[in-house]
Amino acid sequence: MTKFSKGRTAIALSGGVDSSTAGALLLEEGREVVGITLQLHGASTEGLEQAETAARHLGIQHFVLNLTDDFEKLVLRPAWKEYILGRTPCPCMRCNERIKFGILMDWALENGCSALATGHYAIVASEGGQARLLRGRDKNKDQSYFLAGLSQERLSHSVFPLGSLEKRQVRKKAAELGLPCAERKESQDICFVMPGMSFPETLQAHFGDISVQSKGFIIDWEGRQLAQHEGIHNFTIGQRRGVRVGTGTRAWVCRLDAATGSVYLTNAEEDLLCEEITVSDLSWTTSEPPAMPMECEVQVRYRSVPTAASLTNFSDGCGRLDFRQPVRSAAPGQAAVFYNGDMVIGRGYIHQTFR
């Protein structure tokens, strides 16, 4: 097993502008840095070659960790199961918790590194002897939402060099350093997407045909069956584009019924609003769970506006959120992330929504 000298920082190196620049900033701080690239799927070597090029440019050791089987087991297959149950999974969050800050971090720590750095736009600050997860400075790139499931232990070994920078500053820095990725386009948020396919379509192609029960009809607000569809995995709450049926007016997906395969539409945006949701699998960034009930701001999707709410913990690992103002398009399976200003308190997965 590879053993690094104690105190080194591992950088999760994809070869893109964010991770490469993050590695360069660590070197400028005087840290010893080693690059580790995750091989998560497929036979393509393009990503690995980009990472190797970046490592050579930075002058750091580079290792490849093949986690293809773990990625399928811990991220892809659970996401597919969620889709065919009529839920909308959050694979990036699962990947962060189970793969990047799970298996990868464990590997790095076991081999002598003291911390794992990534190119996420978020901040870890020390306060009162605890690690605090904060929003990144660039509000358009802030990725604290996807890191909300990291425990205090994981955060204490995490470094985010880009957290205090804006994207334009990162690109400028990469250009100044002559990094080959400086002008490269943004990579896909989803690490496993076949060309020309959506993430659920890719999962269907990977795992095989869906069950007959997942297929059904698209039904409008008057109960009319408009058309058959090829699987509820292709839809999510609040979706307007890509429904592929003519209604003569704007319409949104408002409900999915996994038992019948029915996709229900509405022409009234207020049908997408809910005032209460239940959440499961609660997780906290703090060393101890907060006192309940807890007042906080909540994001029910990555790009949603934070909304004031009260969280009540009514059973082990589950809770209820009561919102001060209704939230739009909360989808079962997505993460509800709890904030106190810019600080992340924790997260839960949306179980049910109520109007």
Q: What is the pLDDT of residue 191?
A: 76
- Topology (CATH) of 209-267: SH3 type barrels. (2.30.30)
**Phi and psi based region of residue 127 (left: phi greater than 0; alpha: psi -120 to 50; beta: remaining):** beta
CA–CA gap between residue 219 and residue 18 (Å, rounded): 43
Q: What is the pLDDT of residue 4?
A: 43
In angstroms, how far apart are the furthest CA atoms of the chain?
Answer: 67
pTM, rounded to two decimals: 0.93
CA-to-CA separations, 20 to 38, 192, 297, in angstroms, rounded:
14, 21, 33
Query: Tokens at residue 40, please?
Result: 């998560």
Reply yes or no on whether 95 is catalytic. Answer: yes
CA–CA gap between residue 253 and residue 84 (Å, rounded): 16
In this structure, the number of other CB atoms found within 10 A of the CB of residue 100 comes to: 21
β-pairing verdict for 262-266 and 216-219: parallel
Reply yes or no on whether 274 is catalytic. Answer: no
- Domain 8-176 in CATH 3.40.50.720: no
The length of the chain, given as a count of residues: 355
Q: What is the pLDDT of residue 5?
A: 45
In a structure prediction context, what are the per-residue pLDDT tens digits for the chain, which is 355 residues long? 344 445 799 999 998 999 999 999 999 999 999 999 999 976 557 788 999 999 999 999 999 999 999 999 999 999 999 998 999 999 999 999 999 999 999 999 999 999 999 999 999 999 888 999 999 999 999 999 999 999 999 999 999 999 999 999 999 999 999 988 877 777 655 677 887 888 988 898 888 766 645 789 999 999 999 999 988 999 999 999 878 788 788 999 999 999 999 999 999 999 999 999 999 999 999 999 999 999 999 999 999 999 999 999 877 889 999 999 999 999 999 999 999 999 999 999 999 999 7
Q: What is the pLDDT of residue 248?
A: 80
What one-character-per-residue DSSP string does 248-280 give? Answer: SS--EEEEEETTTTEEEEES-GGGGEEEEEEEE
Q: What is the pLDDT of residue 3?
A: 44
DSSP state of 145: G
Query: Tokens at residue 331, please?
Result: 């989808």
CA–CA gap between residue 193 and residue 118 (Å, rounded): 21
Equal fold, 209-267 vs 273-354? no
CATH no. for 273-354: 2.40.30.10
Side by side, the strands of the sheet bearing 262-266 are 225-229, 216-219, 262-266, 252-257
Domain boundaries, the chain: 8-176, 209-267, 273-354
Name the active-site residue from 92, 95, 113, 254: 95
Name the active-site residue from 90, 92, 191, 254: 191
